[in-house]
Structure 1
Amino acid sequence: MGCFQFLKFMMFAFNGIIFLAGAAILGVGIWVKVDSGSILTFLGKIDNMPAELSQVLNVGYLLIAIGILLVVIGFLGCCGAMRESKCMLLLFFIIVLLIFIAEVAGAVVILVFRPLAEELFNKIGQEAVKSIKQGYGNNTDITGLWNSTMSTFKCCGFYNSSEFKDSPYYKNHNNTFPPQCCLNPGSTCTNGTITGCFPKIRKLIDDNTAAIVGVALGIAALELCAMAVSMILYCRIKSESV
């Protein structure tokens, strides 16, 4: 009985943290989407605040989705353990299992179909370069997205700065590159010297592969433990109710 109560407490504590984290993320996501005007006003009052920072409002929907998922998982885990509800524990197990299967499937796809991924990235690169050549400088959405990306990652273009030579911006600004493409953004940028975004992001991922794999394995281990505990409680409750 002592082990059973301990597992119930651990299940409640662990999922309570998940529930609170999900509620916080959900609240932030809703606030970002509902009160975006106040956020933009607040950001506008900060000195030297990049205009591209307003792009953070676009992550509101993602925060809402993640928050809802964590709230549901945390609620089912907490209530299922404390109320000894077999239905809630089973739903908790199924949801975590589906997430685990999706993560494993994603990892398998990345490993097995890596050549196809390279081809996909090449196609994405072609479309990205095309968007620069056709829309950077005369399309507000494309220009803002690229400015935000280049400012965040300190890069220039998808592969390199030469992609801007045929863009409306280059032609309308006396054959100059965007400020993000030069080491000194305050001066006229006539020669792009900053590395492209794709090579820089790829190097960033390659340099942190061990950390990414470690985090992924840690999350997978927690999911396996959560599923194991939920099934132990489910079977114990089932056996005691017979």
Structure 2
Amino acid sequence: MAMKGCLSVTKYFLFVFNLFFFILGGVLLCFGLWILFDRSSFATMIGSSTPTLKIFSYVLSGVGILTMLLGFLGCLGSLKEIKCLLGFYFAFLLLLFAAQITVGVLVYTQRSSVNFAVGKYVENIIKNYEIVTNETDLQEGLDFAQEQMSCCGWFAPEDWMKNQKIYENSSLNLYPCSCRNISSFFPNPTINGTVNATDISLPEHSRGFCTATSRNNWPVYKIGCMNSVQAFIINNFICIIGVCIGIALLELFVMTLSMCLCRNLDQNYNKLARYS
């Protein structure tokens, strides 16, 4: 009786747990599709960039589909006591867990290679900025990152000297508008250290190229985006590690429950028989 009661509790706990995940996956999928099909108005509402929201919508939709599939396998397998579905559920969780561990180890051990590869990717976007028209989303995404993270280029602002448009029009003193350091446009600070708003003289646009007074005096952030990303990771390291450990422990706990339920089902009883 104690064993049956324990199995019943495990079965219904898995069912409720995965039902919640199935509903959560559906919400994420709907939210991702909403952003995807109504991206412009959503970007206007929250003040974000359209390319960034496009990537975000794809990520949300993919996570939603994955979560719904996982929840469906767990719900049906536990409630109907179908061993093959419970086996698929366990294997799926195990594969996901192994993939997370593998990615974490690879990122940590190959961080120099990853940093170099990302740097080359960003460098290619910078070189083709406003030159290649089919990379508009990537270019706007770079603009958004530089604005939000207060950085310029990947390694340093000098990365932009490799841009063909800046190189060919050196006499115009062009620089990327998304890199501009707003504090550079406040020439007359007040006594208490604040700035005088009447002295603001900013370019009207924040995309594309702006013109500086001197080629050697760009009013831009002096730090590269690589350093900003590293600073963000270091400042939030404890939170990131805590979330990763929490997800890993949850996956291990659910995998243990699903395997216990699967192994203790009646070997001679096949729930699929009732549907044949």
Aligned counterpart, 2:146? 150
What amino acid does structure 2 have at the position aligned with 1:65?
A: G
Distance 1:12 1:210, change over 3 A: same
**Aligned pair 1:231/2:229, yes or no?**
no
Residues 18 and 71, structure 1, Cα contact 8 Å, conserved in 2: yes
What amino acid does structure 1 have at the position aligned with 2:8?
A: Q
Structure 2 residue aligned with 1:13, among 13, 16, 20? Answer: 16
4+ runs of 1 displaced by more than 6 Å?
A: none
Structure 2 residue aligned with 1:122, among 96, 116, 124? Answer: 116
SS in structure 1 of the partner of residue 266 of structure 2? helix
Aligned counterpart, 1:22? 25
Displacement, 1:135?
1.8
Displacement, 1:29?
2.5
Moved more, 21-30 or 225-234: 21-30
**Aligned pair 1:205/2:233, yes or no?**
yes
For 1:69 and 1:108, how far apart are their aligned partners in 2? Answer: 23
Displacement, 1:179?
3.1
For 1:122 and 1:215, how far apart are their aligned partners in 2? Answer: 27
Displacement, 1:74?
0.4
User: Taking every aligned residue pair, what percent have the same amino acid on both sides?
Assistant: 26
Distance 1:143 1:30, change over 3 A: closer
Displacement, 1:169?
5.1
Taking the TM superposition and a 5 Å limit, the aligned residue runs for 1:1-242 are 1-33=4-36, 35-36=37-38, 39-41=39-41, 43-44=43-44, 46=45, 49=47, 52-111=49-108, 113-114=109-110, 117-132=111-126, 134-140=127-133, 141=136, 142-167=138-163, 168=165, 171=169, 174-184=172-182, 187=202, 190-239=218-267, 241=269
Displacement, 1:181?
2.3
1:153-184 CA-partner distances (Å, limit 9, x unpaired): 22211112122234325738931422332331
Q: CA RMSD in A?
A: 2.7
For 1:43 and 1:181, how far apart are their aligned partners in 2? Answer: 21
For 1:217 and 1:159, how far apart are their aligned partners in 2? Answer: 31
Residues 86 and 238, structure 1, Cα contact 8 Å, conserved in 2: no
Moved more, 53-62 or 223-232: 53-62
| Larger fraction in helix | 1
Q: Which blocks of at least 5 consecutive residues in structure 1 are unaligned?
A: none
Residues 181 and 194, structure 1, Cα contact 8 Å, conserved in 2: no
1:26-51 CA-partner distances (Å, limit 9, x unpaired): 12223333x24xx314544x4x935x
Displacement, 1:21?
0.9
For 1:2 and 1:235, how far apart are their aligned partners in 2? Answer: 15
Displacement, 1:151?
2.3
Distance 1:85 1:125, change over 3 A: same
Q: Which blocks of at least 5 consecutive residues in structure 2 are unaligned?
A: 186-200, 204-211, 213-217, 271-276
Displacement, 1:200?
0.6
Residues 153 and 197, structure 1, Cα contact 8 Å, conserved in 2: yes
